Amino acid sequence: MNRCNPLLYLVTDRALAKGRPIENVVEQAVKGGVTMVQLREKDCPTLEFFNLAVLIKRILAPFHVPLIINDRLDIALAADAEGLHIGQHDIPYVIARKILGKDKIIGLSVESISQAREANKLDVDYIGLSPVFVTDTKPELSIALGIEGVREIASFSRHCIVAIGGINARNAVDIVRAGADGIAVVSAIVSADDPMMAAREIRQKIATFKQ
Amino acid sequence: MNRCNPLLYLVTDRALAKGRPIENVVEQAVKGGVTMVQLREKDCPTLEFFNLAVLIKRILAPFHVPLIINDRLDIALAADAEGLHIGQHDIPYVIARKILGKDKIIGLSVESISQAREANKLDVDYIGLSPVFVTDTKPELSIALGIEGVREIASFSRHCIVAIGGINARNAVDIVRAGADGIAVVSAIVSADDPMMAAREIRQKIATFKQ
């Protein structure tokens, strides 16, 4: 796992940014210690999504923080993002890898123990365990893996593990202690009054367990 | 314009198919004389869109009818469709061409005389003039180009011209007579009681002017 460091992985959602431009929130969060950024904008028209991806890639470049695009392989290609994150209902991994090539990061959402076992057959760059806790950001996912689920998957997965779903400064350490290589957060940073301070606080808490 | 023949171009919309599987409607339409098919499904999750594209490509193959994907370059790549149709708010043409390569068909929507002049600078494979008439399928486009608009654009455009928007068996001939190389239809075929007969009727009417 050399090409990505998902220790503190910011996943965007403009709807949760309290009216602030998401690019400003991302920049603050990266200054606070975010190590990877995923642009996840489900209801964004294509050109707007593309322009936003190009803008955020430019913001991230000086920090050497990779930009990952959620679901939209076309946006990842067009904006020359560092990678793509796919879910179980997106373009199949094998096809995405064929199109993107071996040099791009591809992450895969895993929502159960059995999906995590299946993912061991694929050369994804990381798996995103979701949801660890039930969250308002993705209310359709109701079966939480919990700390125990993270621990079990960490015991057999050959992949880098990022946990997502209801993670914040209070529970981040427990997740990392259970075996996750990183945590992904949405509202804990995007909706924070001060995204830089919010990112810094989480980063410092997990820094005692991971570098 | 060797690689596509948009004489009678079917554009899909599952919502207008009266509950019938869109792949069945497409197959009937192609049997009736449709020469090109565009899969346009604005609110379709990625995996579902991909699976539908693969299915329709398989249906079209024996007829040698090219499959064009609306907007989603990722689906076009993943399903190895013959081409992509982009609008003015999709991924910019130059980037799409760079990613897809020179062998794929790329069509561009043009909604005004000035956009048609701009398109003359690009090596698109066709331009889609939209809307010729105001239509319920795209109610947000309210300024119709009309027959006169088609005639004017045909007088200076260096591209193959497909007209779309409110076209049916009654007005198809007027559009072709005004200089369009083909017509694109949605509801006139997708919503027809008999899509094969509907396609055949339009095809026969324009066949007296175009082969």
CATH number of the domain where residue B31 is located: 3.20.20.70
Q: Answer whether A68 touches B (CB < 8 Å).
A: no
Q: Which residues of B are catalytic?
A: 40, 109, 138
Q: Which residues of A are catalytic?
A: 40, 109, 138
Contacts of A92 in chain B (CB under 8 A): 47, 50
Closest CA to B164 of B184, B193, B180: B184
pLDDT tens, B3-21?
778 999 999 999 999 999 9
pLDDT tens, B85-138?
999 999 999 999 999 999 999 999 999 999 999 999 999 999 999 999 986 666
Q: Give the Cβ contact number of residue A152 at 10 Å.
A: 16
- Of A54-68, A172-186, A196-210, the poorest mean pLDDT is in A196-210
Buried b (16+ CB within 10 A) or exposed e, A175-198: bbebbbbbbbbbbbbbbbeebbeb
Residue B58 and residue B118: Cα distance in Å, rounded? Answer: 35
Q: Match 């027809």 to its residue by tokens.
A: B192
| Percentage of residues of chain B with pLDDT beyond 90 | 86
Q: Answer whether B72 touches A (CB < 8 Å).
A: yes
Average pLDDT over residues A75-83: 98
DSSP-assigned letter for residue B35: -
Element (H, E) at B210: none
Give the phi and the psi of residue A37 in degrees, each rounded to 5: -130, 130
User: What 3-state DSSP class applies to B63?
Assistant: helix
CB pair distance less than 8 Å for B46 and A92: no
Question: Between B139 and A149, whose confidence is greater?
Answer: A149
HEC letters along chain A: CCCCCCCEEEECCHHHCCCCCHHHHHHHHHHCCCCEEEECCCCCCHHHHHHHHHHHHHHHHHHCCCEEEECCHHHHHHCCCCEEEECCCCCCHHHHHHHHCCCCEEEEEECCHHHHHHHCCCCCCEEEECCCCCCCCCCCCCCCCHHHHHHHHHHHCCCEEEEECCCCCCCHHHHHHCCCCEEEECHHHHCCCCHHHHHHHHHHHHHCCCC
- In this structure, is residue A1 part of a structural domain? no
Closest CA to A13 of A33, A34, A43: A43
- In this structure, is residue B68 part of a structural domain? yes
pLDDT of residue B1: 41
pLDDT of residue A84: 98
Q: Answer whether B159 touches A (CB < 8 Å).
A: no
Residue A165 has pLDDT above 70, yes or no: yes
CB pair distance less than 8 Å for B46 and A89: yes
User: What 3-state DSSP class applies to B195?
Assistant: helix
pLDDT of residue A42: 85
pLDDT of residue A141: 55
Which residue blocks in chain B are alpha helix, DSSP H?
Answer: 22-31, 46-60, 73-78, 93-100, 113-119, 146-156, 172-177, 187-190, 195-207
pLDDT tens, A21-39?
999 999 999 999 999 999 9
Contacts of B47 in chain A (CB under 8 A): 88-92
Contacts of B73 in chain A (CB under 8 A): 74, 77-78
pLDDT of residue A140: 59
- In this structure, is residue A3 part of a structural domain? no
- In this structure, is residue B3 part of a structural domain? no
Residue A209 has pLDDT above 90, yes or no: no
Closest CA to B9 of B162, B187, B196, B194: B162
User: What 3-state DSSP class applies to B132?
Assistant: coil
* Residues in CB range of B115: below 8 A, 6 or more apart: B88
Q: Answer whether A140 touches B (CB < 8 Å).
A: no
Q: Answer whether A94 touches B (CB < 8 Å).
A: no
**pLDDT band, residue B142 (cuts 50/70/90):** low
Q: What's the domain count of chain B? A: 1
Closest chain A C-alpha to B50 CA, distance in angstroms: 7
- In this structure, is residue B2 part of a structural domain? no
Residue A4 has pLDDT above 50, yes or no: yes
pLDDT of residue A18: 96
Measure Cα distances from A26 to A54, B5, B81, B200 in Å. Answer: 13, 46, 36, 54
Residue A11 and residue B191: Cα distance in Å, rounded? Answer: 41
Residue B97 and residue B91: Cα distance in Å, rounded? Answer: 10
Average pLDDT over residues A54-73: 97
Q: Give the Cβ contact number of residue B100 at 10 Å.
A: 18
- Does this complex have an ipTM over 0.90? no
For all residues of chain A together, what is the average pLDDT? 93
- In this structure, is residue B1 part of a structural domain? no
β-partners of residue A184 are A9, A164
Contacts of B96 in chain A (CB under 8 A): 78
pLDDT of residue B42: 85
Q: Which two tokens stand for residue B111?
A: 């909604």
Closest chain A C-alpha to B123 CA, distance in angstroms: 18
- In this structure, is residue A73 part of a structural domain? yes
Domain span including residue B149 = 8-210
Contacts of B95 in chain A (CB under 8 A): 50, 78
Amino acid at the residue B124: V
Which pTM value belongs to this model?
0.90
pLDDT of residue B138: 61
Q: Answer whether B77 touches A (CB < 8 Å).
A: yes
Residue A43 has pLDDT above 90, yes or no: no
Residue in chain A lying closest to B72 (CA):
A74
- Of A30-34, A91-95, B116-120, B204-208, the poorest mean pLDDT is in B204-208
CB pair distance less than 8 Å for B47 and A91: yes
- In this structure, is residue A60 part of a structural domain? yes
Q: Answer whether A52 touches B (CB < 8 Å).
A: no
pLDDT of residue A31: 98
